[in-house]
Amino acid sequence: MAILSKPLRAAEQEVRNIAGPLIALGVAIAILYFGRVLFITSLVAVMLAFILEPFVTLLVRIRFPRSLASFVVCAAALSILYLMGLGAYSQLSGLAEELPKYSQRIGELVENVSQKVEGLEQRSYQLVMPAPKQPPPAPTPDQSRKKRRTADTAAPAIPGAIPEVRIHEDSSPIKQFISVRLGSFYQIMLMVSFVPFLVYFMLSWHDHIHRSFLQFFQGEDRAAAARSLQGIADMVRAFVVGNSVLGLLLAAASSLAFWMVHLPYALLVGPLSGFLSLVPYVGLPLAALPPLFVALTAYETISGYLLVVAIVTVFHLLALNLLYPKFVGSRVHLNPLAVTFSLMIWGFLWDAPGLLLAIPMTAAFKAVCDNVKGLRQIGKFLGD
């Protein structure tokens, strides 16, 4: 019995060694999924702090107190966002006034498409419909008299009977959508309101946070942690700045091209199309949606829509194949397989924000793996 108990104990210990990490992984996935609003808000604040840190450092070098330098940089960033919002609002207000025209145009297009589909169905039905059958013979006099007697003997309707009335409660899908999404929208807006304060405190308390974090490590681990922090900061800064520069170039080029083809609201749909084009894998259809929508009232023929799609496609392919590797790809150092898996995982957990944050988070994880001795093989696996 003692001989048999040793293999059983070894197998039991092996099962525990496997079950422990699996349970921890499941708990971590659940925490990331249910706390995604909190994590997304914190990550956005951290990325913004990494971007604005060089400007704060520049002001500190010219004898600004760090708290004042952080306030000036945050105020300047908010002012830029406010001015951009004013420009977008002026364009959106003009677009809102013309929404009846767009709705009428969409109705006409839907009606034309439905008529064509009905015509196609009728022609298909005529092709596959069998030959009509011969009409049944006329009833004989005896059969007619029998039918009349059957109709006379049928049960008469009860006088004064009230027909059954069924009340159908019509619920608007828009009301249902608003009622479902209102709570989550309020939660998102509440978390977004914390972003400026988080960024300011991260910038003003940068030195204190950095020293306090490194105190959790000793010896070589402290040096590895410092290198990891520096690698994450450099990577995030390069990724976000590279995408921002590339998005601005695409926005300017798209706005100019749309203005040249007389597309309305070119200053609005150009930046939208340019920045949406940077979304991984689904950037091309997303970038084509805004210009195609405003083109509904600008073009009457299909050639105009094809021209808009061609402009968006050319800019997207140029940015993806020529500019993106120089501005972003050379700094991230991730292979396509790792990028695809990270997009799938984070897109499943956090939806659209996960698609936007997947690459910088995976690259930050790779930066940590590259500086930790026991994780360098994982860093090599994720690398290009």
Q: What is the pLDDT of residues 43-65, one digit of tens each?
A: 888 888 888 888 898 999 988 89
Where is average pLDDT lowest: 137-146, 224-233, 289-298? 137-146
Mean pLDDT of 241-256: 87
CA of residue 341 relative to chain centroid, distance: 16
**Residue 220, burial from CB neighbour count under 10 angstroms (0-12, 13-18, 19+):** exposed
pLDDT of residue 5: 61
Name which residue leads in pLDDT, 82 or 154.
82
Report helix, strand or coil for 120.
helix
pLDDT of residue 147: 52
The total number of structural domains that make up the chain: 1
Q: What is the pLDDT of residues 260-298, one digit of tens each?
A: 988 888 888 888 888 888 887 778 888 888 888 888 877
Q: What is the pLDDT of residues 6-22, one digit of tens each?
A: 566 666 767 676 777 78
On whether residue 75 sits in a domain, the answer given is yes
Name which residue leads in pLDDT, 80 or 149.
80
- One-letter amino acid at 50 equals F
Return d(Cα 240, Cα 159) in angstroms, integer: 80
CA-nearest of 286, 253, 255 to 268 is 255
Task: Give me the percent of the chain exceeding a pLDDT of 70.
Answer: 79
Q: What is the pLDDT of residues 93-108, one digit of tens each?
A: 777 777 777 777 777 7
Biggest CA–CA distance in the chain, Å, is 116
On whether residue 193 sits in a domain, the answer given is no
Indicate whether 216 pLDDT > 70: yes
On whether residue 195 sits in a domain, the answer given is no
On whether residue 159 sits in a domain, the answer given is no
Mean pLDDT of 166-192: 59
pLDDT of residue 268: 84
Q: What share of the chain is helix, strand, coil (3-state, %, to 5)?
A: 80, 0, 20
* Domain carrying residue 86: 43-97
pLDDT band at 244 (very low <50, low <70, confident <90, very high): confident
CA of residue 168 relative to chain centroid, distance: 37
Indicate whether 183 pLDDT > 70: no
pLDDT band at 72 (very low <50, low <70, confident <90, very high): very high
Element (H, E) at 265: none
Q: What is the pLDDT of residues 321-377, one digit of tens each?
A: 777 777 776 667 788 888 888 888 888 888 878 888 888 888 888 888 888 777 888
Report helix, strand or coil for 1.
coil
pLDDT of residue 75: 92
Indicate whether 235 pLDDT > 70: yes
Mean pLDDT of 134-163: 53
Q: Is the pTM of this model over 0.95?
A: no
Indicate whether 66 pLDDT > 60: yes
On whether residue 86 sits in a domain, the answer given is yes
pLDDT of residue 150: 52
- Let me know: does 289 contact 305? Beta carbons within 8 Å: no
On whether residue 82 sits in a domain, the answer given is yes
Name which residue leads in pLDDT, 190 or 329.
190
CA-nearest of 73, 69, 26, 350 to 196 is 73
pLDDT of residue 383: 80
**Residue 102 CB neighbours (<10 A):** 14
Burial 118-131 (b: 16+ CB within 10 A, else e): eeeeeeeeeeeeee
pLDDT of residue 256: 92
CA-nearest of 122, 111, 355, 115 to 243 is 355
Return d(Cα 266, Cα 252) in angstroms, integer: 10
Angle between helices 266-276 and 302-318 (to 10 degrees): 50
Indicate whether 155 pLDDT > 50: no
On whether residue 321 sits in a domain, the answer given is no
Concatenating the DSSP letter of every residue in 132-173 gives PPPPPPPPPHHHHHHHHHHHHTSPPPPTTPPPP--------H
On whether residue 57 sits in a domain, the answer given is yes
Indicate whether 181 pLDDT > 70: no
Mean pLDDT of 219-226: 82
The tokens describing 322, both together, are: 């020529």
